[in-house]
Structure 1
Amino acid sequence: MSANSSVSARRRTTTRLVGIALAYFMVLLDTTVLAVAEPDLIASLHTDVIGVGWATTIYTMTLAAALVLGGNLADRLGAYRVFMVGVVGFGATSLACALSPDLGVLLACRGLLGLFAAAIIPASLGLIAGLYPEPGSRGRAISAWAAISGAAMAAGPVLGGWLIGLDGWRVVFVINAPVTAVVVLLCGTRIPDTRRARAISWLPHLGLATGLATLTLTITEAGQRNWALVCAFGLITLILGVGTAAIDRRSAAPLVPPALRHNASVWTAFGWGAAINYALTTVIFAIPLLLHVTAIEAGVTLLPMTLLVALNPLLTGRLVAEHGPSRPIRMGFTAFPVGLAVTAFAVADDQQPIVLAIGLLLCGLGISWTLPALVGFAVDHAPQDATGAVGGILNTTRQVGATIAAAVASATLTGHSSGGWVAAPFAIATVLCVIGLGSAILANPSRAGRPTHDAVAEHTNDGAVERTS
């Protein structure tokens, strides 16, 4: 191959990687961009806090329920085909969200949006593996892809606030259409991938989805104090959970591989991921509702936290490489509950902007120290042939944490409108982080000692790596 041909091939590869990363950015942006739109949604669609809570939770709920399924489909049908269907579907459904005449239509479209997002994320990893067959270059490409998550987290509230300030909440979804067009243009030429004759067991996936839905309904009804429905939905959730676990154990293609079922260290890391996303979502969901500011002001208010989430994981990666993951995990679970307590105090007294900024800075440190390290911890304690499954389950448990957090915050903040305790959602998140700190102190250090740079690169930054090819 001539030098010019080699340069041209590298450029094409880089262009496609940019397209894949843009699709990932778009998917993650939608997990946070709607947060600052909550007051505008309430006024525009004549709904309440519970209604906008569902607008948030239904996206993360369907995303969590379908992530593992999306990975299986990418293996079975080909990552490129699943990726392109996901991207085009995401763009089209985003426009449908923007045109939604009422809350019911918006919820249906947001649920469908989560399904397309669950196709994009795992398929992206398969495409990167095809573009970069050499392990070193693949690790660097995955690191760049995963770093997009922090940028999306930082940009979501600010970009959302700016767009909503221009023309209301619908613009938040319209912006996905041109991004989709750019992704299709950059990735229009087929990207090499592989297909595997992989079995898919549908019942566990269906059980997970319906269980998350009934759990969210249980929390919502608890906020409304409809105790008969709470008992009914709670019982259904319990039955679905037990039944799904039993079916999954006997499944030919289980959600949880047998090698991970009794691995206490890995499940501890999954719990940490759920707790961190629970606390993060609590902050992002509650702040715009409680401060009574414009969407732009809400986005700017969250910047002390979101900028650290975007930038600090690079330093955390060095900490993990030098000291192993346990130290930054403990640092994060120390900073986060303090940050939540300070934030709750500042929100209760809206004349405390400096105190609020300090609280959000501490929350940002808690997230950005903990998330990259806990993924490395899980990978270190998992069998080598199960690291891909660890990435998928970890991201699923994180989205489950986010879903429950939005439901709990909307239920508790409904009480705030009638004089309830504004600190309630922060208090619950603080308790979970304190439990996380206790378990981190008691947890065994990494079995592998200090993880290699490549291992951290492929499994850190947002827990975003769903599966490795």
Structure 2
Amino acid sequence: MSTAPSVTDRPRRGRRPAAQLVGIALAYFMVLLDTTVLAVAEPSIMISLHTGVAGVGWATTAYTTALASALVLGGGLADRLGAYPVFVVGVVGFGAASVACALSPALAYLLVFRALLGLFAAAIIPSSLALIAALYPDPGARGRAISAWAAISGAAMAAGPVVGGWLIAVDDWHAVFVINAPTALAVLVLCRTPITTTRRLRALSWLPHLGLAATLTTGTLAITRAGHRSWPEAVLFGLVALGLAYGTAAVDRTSSAPLVPASLRRDRAVWTAFAWGAAVNYALTTVLFSVPLLLHATATAAGATLLPMTLLVALNPPATGRLVAAHGPLRPIRMGFVAFPVGLALVAAGTAAHGRPLVLGLGLLLCGLGVSWTLPALVGFAVQHAAPDAAGSVGGILNATRQAGATVAAAVAGAVLTQDRGSGTAAVPFLIAAAVCALGLAGATTRHLSRTKEAPVADHVAEARHLGHMSRTSDGSSGELPGD
């Protein structure tokens, strides 16, 4: 909940807005790169830290759980304290925590520092666009700045697996974290001139965020124990997770700063969009997590293999924006949820039977289309159908649900592949993800959505200029334009 601004400073753009824009984009590039490079580092981490699939699964879920739990809080802190100091703390912390990850002598240390990375990423992401809005108050200049920001940061999705493979070849898995330190330093140099933004007296509440983190962690424990066939523990943790989820929802309803505003709690269309976001990130994370583990190839080869998907995720969203402008958001959402199950089935066939690179490549290509069609469009769909007083909350909640989907995906894939990485088991994570996307398609074709009032196409034209830049990867990019 926010009140009237307590401090309304005139935004100061500084003497080097272009350099500062590059620094802001580089910070976001760093966050996105960290997500994708880890995928190809998984086999190396397993050997070095003497852990299994479940261990690298926790390395992924520690990050996504912290990010999902703190994204909305990070936006609140940026409003209350100012975007610039929150951004700087996030960049410094991300660089330091990355070095700590690289120096981790055991899995337990890596998990702690990965969680810290997620918290600092949650400070960087919402403050980045707020700083761009302050640097470029003119809407036209801001649109061009966001396009440049998206081009730089979106390249991380395509570059991540390839860069990760090269870094691992040079200095094992430690290098994928060490690279963040000089990157963070470059960001601080480029953004050394303070950027003043409007600060608001916004209430903050820690309990809903802690409850969400506890729910995701306990749910992951339940899935992990099921993967080890420890059924009594799995059932116990599952029941505790359900209880925590119920308690978190109850606390959130009475909170002075709820995660979910009252006007969104019964908004069926917006919650459908949140579910779509979780489904897309579930499928994307399943591919990024599972494929490098199943290829039995070098990190460089694994990174190159993922390129058909990651290139499309990075480059296709602007075309999706034009598609939304012409036909509305539902059409590309449905197209994406058709492409995804087919692509996942082909990926399952390509990884289960070695020597089918064309099948695997085609499957990854379709998965890339699935991500790049659905995510930009569902952001627009959610914002379009949200109540006016809750439009600013939609982006944060959508990103949090996406990270929750990623958390569950890594836990499920880790649990399945822990049992046996034979050809039969190898296909299971992808088939589960295909079923999740099929449910997304079913939701996109229900009657209540078909009857939902669409905004005029002219409105979509204005909206679509930004849709391609709001959703590049699974890291939780902002779904709104702060300052608009």
Q: TM-score, normalised by structure 1?
A: 0.95
- Can you list the C-alpha shifts for 1:351-396, whole angstroms capped at 9, x where unaligned? 1011111111111111111111111111111123322211111111
Cα shift at 1:455: 2.5
- Aligned residue among 422, 447, 453 for 2:454: 447
**Counterpart AA for 1:96:** A
5 Å-filtered alignment, 1:33-112, equals: 33-112=37-116
- Name the CA distance, whole Å, in 1 between partners of 2:371 and 2:153: 13
- Name the CA distance, whole Å, in 2 between partners of 1:197 and 1:147: 33
- Name the CA distance, whole Å, in 2 between partners of 1:149 and 1:366: 20
The corresponding residue for 1:5 is: none
- Can you list the C-alpha shifts for 1:80-130, whole angstroms capped at 9, x where unaligned? 010000000100111111111111111111111110000011111221111
The 8 Å contact of residues 70 and 122 in structure 1, kept in 2 or not, is answered as: yes
Identity of aligned residues (%): 66
- Name the CA distance, whole Å, in 2 between partners of 1:175 and 1:115: 19
Q: Per the alignment, do residues 362 and 459 of structure 1 end up closer, same or farther by CA in structure 2, a change over 3 Å counting?
A: closer
More deviation, 380-389/83-92? 380-389
- Aligned residue among 362, 365, 379 for 1:361: 365
- Name the CA distance, whole Å, in 2 between partners of 1:449 and 1:439: 22
- Name the CA distance, whole Å, in 2 between partners of 1:345 and 1:136: 47
- Can you list the C-alpha shifts for 1:384-412, whole angstroms capped at 9, x where unaligned? 33222111111111111111101110100
Q: Per the alignment, do residues 220 and 148 of structure 1 end up closer, same or farther by CA in structure 2, a change over 3 Å counting?
A: farther
The corresponding residue for 1:243 is: 247
**Residue 464 of structure 2 corresponds to residue 456 of structure 1:** yes
**Residue 195 of structure 2 corresponds to residue 191 of structure 1:** yes
The corresponding residue for 1:291 is: 295
- Name the CA distance, whole Å, in 2 between partners of 1:372 and 1:84: 28
5 Å-filtered alignment, 1:368-447, equals: 368-417=372-421, 421-442=425-446, 443-444=449-450, 447=454
CA root-mean-square deviation: 1.5
- Can you list the C-alpha shifts for 1:315-340, whole angstroms capped at 9, x where unaligned? 11110111111111111111110000
Cα shift at 1:136: 2.5
Q: Secondary structure at the match of 2:203?
A: coil
- Aligned residue among 442, 465, 469 for 2:478: 465
Q: Secondary structure at the match of 2:201?
A: coil
**Counterpart AA for 2:463:** A
- Aligned residue among 342, 365, 380 for 1:338: 342
- Name the CA distance, whole Å, in 2 between partners of 1:394 and 1:98: 31
**Residue 117 of structure 2 corresponds to residue 113 of structure 1:** yes
Structure 1 residue ranges (4+ consecutive) displaced by more than 4 angstroms after TM superposition: none
Cα shift at 1:154: 1.3
5 Å-filtered alignment, 1:18-29, equals: 18-29=22-33
- Name the CA distance, whole Å, in 2 between partners of 1:141 and 1:440: 33
The 8 Å contact of residues 352 and 423 in structure 2, kept in 1 or not, is answered as: no
- Aligned residue among 281, 301, 309 for 1:305: 309
**Counterpart AA for 1:314:** P
The corresponding residue for 2:282 is: 278
- Name the CA distance, whole Å, in 1 between partners of 2:423 and 2:28: 40
More deviation, 417-426/104-113? 417-426
Q: Secondary structure at the match of 2:199?
A: coil
Gaps of at least 5 residues in structure 1 are: 1-8
The corresponding residue for 1:151 is: 155
Q: Per the alignment, do residues 418 and 304 of structure 1 end up closer, same or farther by CA in structure 2, a change over 3 Å counting?
A: closer
The corresponding residue for 1:161 is: 165
Cα shift at 1:185: 0.3
Q: Secondary structure at the match of 2:197?
A: coil
- Name the CA distance, whole Å, in 1 between partners of 2:214 and 2:465: 34
Q: Per the alignment, do residues 188 and 10 of structure 1 end up closer, same or farther by CA in structure 2, a change over 3 Å counting?
A: closer
Q: Per the alignment, do residues 245 and 460 of structure 1 end up closer, same or farther by CA in structure 2, a change over 3 Å counting?
A: farther
Gaps of at least 5 residues in structure 2 are: 1-12, 472-476
- Aligned residue among 126, 134, 154 for 2:130: 126
- Name the CA distance, whole Å, in 1 between partners of 2:215 and 2:467: 28
- Name the CA distance, whole Å, in 1 between partners of 2:87 and 2:172: 30
- Name the CA distance, whole Å, in 2 between partners of 1:152 and 1:419: 31
The 8 Å contact of residues 332 and 369 in structure 1, kept in 2 or not, is answered as: yes
The 8 Å contact of residues 33 and 156 in structure 2, kept in 1 or not, is answered as: yes
The corresponding residue for 2:333 is: 329
The 8 Å contact of residues 324 and 446 in structure 1, kept in 2 or not, is answered as: no
- Name the CA distance, whole Å, in 1 between partners of 2:437 and 2:151: 24
The 8 Å contact of residues 78 and 194 in structure 1, kept in 2 or not, is answered as: yes
Q: Per the alignment, do residues 141 and 384 of structure 1 end up closer, same or farther by CA in structure 2, a change over 3 Å counting?
A: farther
- Name the CA distance, whole Å, in 2 between partners of 1:460 and 1:253: 30
Cα shift at 1:236: 1.0
The corresponding residue for 1:3 is: none
The 8 Å contact of residues 76 and 198 in structure 1, kept in 2 or not, is answered as: yes
**Counterpart AA for 2:460:** T
- Can you list the C-alpha shifts for 1:260-284, whole angstroms capped at 9, x where unaligned? 1111111111111100010001011
Cα shift at 1:167: 1.0
- Can you list the C-alpha shifts for 1:287-332, whole angstroms capped at 9, x where unaligned? 1111100000000000111111111111111101111111111111
Q: TM-score, normalised by structure 2?
A: 0.92
- Name the CA distance, whole Å, in 1 between partners of 2:419 and 2:36: 23
Cα shift at 1:461: 3.7
The 8 Å contact of residues 306 and 364 in structure 2, kept in 1 or not, is answered as: yes
- Name the CA distance, whole Å, in 2 between partners of 1:219 and 1:462: 31
- Can you list the C-alpha shifts for 1:2-49, whole angstroms capped at 9, x where unaligned? xxxxxxx79711111111111011111111110101111111001100
**Residue 27 of structure 2 corresponds to residue 31 of structure 1:** no
- Name the CA distance, whole Å, in 2 between partners of 1:148 and 1:404: 29
Q: How many residues get paired?
A: 461
